[in-house]
Amino acid sequence: MKIYSVFLGLTLGLLVCGGLYWYGFTGKTPPAGTYDWKRVEGSKNIIPVAIIGSGPAGLSAALYTSRAHLHTVVFQGPQAGGQLMSTSEVENWPGMGKKQGPEIIKAVQEQAQHFGAVLVNESIKKVDFSVWPYQLVTSEDSQVHALSVIISTGAFPERLKDVPGEVEHWGKGVTACAICDAAFFKDKDVVVVGGGDSAAEQALQLTAYARHITLLVRGDKMRASVAMQDRLKKFDYIKIRYNTSITEIEGDGSRVTGIKLKTAQGSDHMPIDGVFLAIGHKPNTELFKGQIAFTPLGYIAHSCRTQETSQEGVFAAGDVSDERYRQAAVASGDGVKAALDAERFLQRIGFDEIFAKKIERKLYDPVVATNLIEITAIESMDQFKSVVLESKVPVIIDFYTKFCSSCLQIMPYIQAIGTQLKDKLVCVKVDIEKMAELKDRYRVTTVPYFVVIKDGLVVGRYNDVMTKREFFDFASRFITE
Ligand code: NDP
């Protein structure tokens, strides 16, 4: 009986694996003219290994390919470091004991850079895998030519959808990032929606600020690991309500005031100040639609034993192609495999040290701007009055917290644009935890949040992540020549 079960298990495993392999590879369309080295030589902005995305998968891949002396550029995307940047405590990254997510990312970034990987604060906004070298367009409108590509764009948090009030109050009490926004909920009552590890994680991040935290779990049990559930039990102001879902988010358009609930007994109402969503993640695949094969669940399909996608020379690693494990350490392992696959691919098609030397001067290696002016940190109301309210030119205030990874990623853009537009515009930064008075005065409800002041009055606002180009366009709107 046992032997039959093992046989059946193996057969099923092979069928699923073979199916995915087949699925991933039937769509393969080798680029026209295959590997046209003359075309590469005639190009500029060449990248032997272009990595899109900078979480554990992308960075681990970069560490391996740069160590193999392949010029590697990592396009870090809108959230450099990925989901680990908003994870506080990680205790299952092998060999590191207990670490903060950003500490792990910083260590891998430094290790990759040590071997020569170039990490750029840019996103890729368009890809074309129908010609080789593969064409990528960056958020700064540079066109680059990649000999191989590793996709590690990760996943982004799901939204509730179809719940009235969610869209109107997004960033005004409804959020998916506790580590960024917890400080706005000091002594307030909040709910966290979801029953997975992310929900437990967000609830724990809120414990330093919120008065009461209620986890709303739609089923009759949590999906989070036992270790995470045990950590929740240590806080008597964290409550868990099972069989409970949100049906409406109420508020006055500028802040959340309550929620309507569907419960096992019928319906209920809770007055509440904040709603934190932790209801799973969706793979970041939009950019690759029509270019490579996806799995039926919408992840990037790759072969069972390697990270090869349906397009030769394009590899996928981490949460964007992992519908099962979604763990940082697994993503890192995928990244290593993708790097080795990319290295073998380049060798197989004839990329060697002689050719690498030939194109040395044509590599894409964006120069980091020098002589940037410092962005003034506002730390007192007197300083605010003189630098902002009495300024002769418009002032952009960047509200941030030190744990908000997207805020920190935007800083270099602000510095670059503040330098480029100096004399016409001033950029300052305000840490909302240090200057709560300014946060309240300008009704800042989330970070990053930009307020533009001209002649002492508010003339503009924006509350989301921006690319460098978008920030430039936003800032330019307030300049009068
Ligand atoms: P999960 O998919 O694990 O959990 C999602 C949760 O949201 C489930 O409880 C699900 O309910 C619930 N949910 C989904 N849709 C809705 C909805 N519309 N309304 C209400 N509830 C909903 O996602 P996570 O983001 O939590 O975790 C992703 C991966 O990352 C996991 O592998 C996890 O282990 C890992 N992770 C690990 C961490 C750590 O180790 N420190 C921290 C964070 C994440 P249901 O169960 O009923 O489907």
What is the predicted pLDDT for the residue at 194?
Answer: 98
Coil vs helix vs strand at 458: strand
Q: Could you report the per-residue pLDDT of 280-315, keeping only the tens digit for each?
A: 999 999 999 999 999 999 999 999 999 999 999 999
Q: Whose CA is nearest to atom 16 of ligand 1?
A: 279
Ordered alpha helix ranges (H), 276-422 = 328-348, 353-358, 381-384, 405-420
Closest Cα to atom 34, ligand 1: which residue? 197
The CATH code of the domain at 174-277 is: 3.50.50.60
Q: What is the mean pLDDT of residues 208-215?
A: 97
Rounded CA-CA distance 139/142 in Å is 7
Inform me whether the pLDDT recorded for 29 exceeds 60.
Answer: no
Contacts of 348 (CB under 8 A, 6+ apart): none
Q: Pairing mode, if any, of strands 314-316 and 143-151? A: parallel
Mean pLDDT in residue range 352-373: 85
Percent helix, percent strand, percent coil in the chain, to nearest 5: 35, 25, 40
Q: What is the DSSP string of 381-395?
A: HHHHIIIIIT-SS-E
Q: Starting from the edge strand earliest in sequence, which strands make up the sheet with 245-251, in order?
A: 245-251, 256-263, 266-271
pLDDT at 124: 97
- Taking the C-alpha atoms of residue 219 and residue 368, their distance in angstroms, rounded to an integer, is 50
Distance 129 CA to ligand 1 centre (A): 33
pLDDT recorded at residue 26: 45
Out of 128, 177, 322, 398, the active site residue is 177
Mutate to test the pocket of ligand 1, among 86, 201, 223, 240 (most ligand atoms within 8 A of CB): 223
Three-class secondary structure of residue 471 per DSSP? helix
* CATH fold match for the domains 2-156+281-362 and 174-277: yes
**Cα of 280 from ligand 1 centre, angstroms:** 4
Place of tokens 């590890």: 197
Tell me, what's the pLDDT at 416? 86
pLDDT at 23 exceeding the cut of 50: no
**Helices and strands of the chain, counted as H and E runs:** 13, 24
Percent of the chain with pLDDT over 90: 76
Which residues does residue 89 pair with via DSSP β-bridges, in sequence order? 100
The residue among 375, 381, 378, 371 whose CA lies nearest residue 427 is 375
Q: What is the pLDDT of residues 370-416, one digit of tens each?
A: 678 889 999 999 999 999 999 999 999 999 998 888 888 788 889 88
Say what the pLDDT of residue 21 is. 45
Report whether pLDDT(18) > 60. Answer: no
From 128, 181, 398, 464, the catalytic residue: 181
Q: Give the Cα separation of 279 and 158 in Å (integer).
A: 6
| Predicted local confidence at residue 2, as pLDDT | 44
Which atom number of ligand 1 is nearest to the Cα of residue 199? 26
Report the C-alpha gap between 53 and 120 in whole angstroms: 10
Residue spans per domain, the chain: 2-156+281-362, 174-277, 376-476
The pick from 279, 281, 320 for probing ligand 1's pocket by mutation, whose C-beta has the most ligand atoms within 8 angstroms, reads 279
Distance between first and last Cα of the chain: 84
Helix (H) or strand (E) holding 247: strand 245-251
Provide the pLDDT for residue 16.
46
Which numbered atom of ligand 1 lies nearest the CA of 281?
Answer: 25
How many angstroms separate the alpha carbon of residue 55 from the centre of ligand 1? 19
Measuring from atom 46 of ligand 1, which residue has the nearest CA?
A: 223
Q: pLDDT tens digit string along 115-168?
A: 999 999 889 999 999 999 999 999 989 999 999 999 999 999 999 989 999 999
- Beta strand pairing status for 155-157 and 266-271? unpaired
Tens of pLDDT, residues 107-117 = 999 999 999 99
Q: What does the pLDDT read at residue 367? A: 62
The answer, as to whether pTM is greater than 0.75, is: yes
Q: Is 341 in the active site?
A: no
In the annotation, is 17 catalytic? no
For ligand 1, residues with CB inside 6 Å are 87, 90, 92, 160, 193-199, 201, 218-219, 223, 245, 278-281, 326-327
Residues 6+ away with beta carbon under 8 Å from 102: 81, 84, 85, 405
State the average pLDDT for the chain: 91
Catalytic site includes residue 177: yes
Using pLDDT thresholds of 50, 70 and 90, give the confidence band for residue 28.
low
Confidence of residue 41 (pLDDT cuts 50, 70, 90): very high
Q: Is 2-156+281-362 a domain of CATH 3.50.50.60?
A: yes
Output the pLDDT for position 9: 47
pLDDT(362) > 50: yes
Ligand 1 atom 22: residue of nearest CA: 279
pLDDT at 225: 96
Task: Kindly report the CATH number that applies to the domain delimited by 376-476.
Answer: 3.40.30.10
Residue with structure tokens 């129908």? 130
From the candidates 17, 162, 180, 322, give the one annotated as an active-site residue.
180
The amino acid present at 457, given as its one-letter code, is L
436 exposure class (CB count in 10 Å sphere: 0-12, 13-18, 19+):
middle
Distance (Å) from CA 409 to ligand 1 centroid: 26
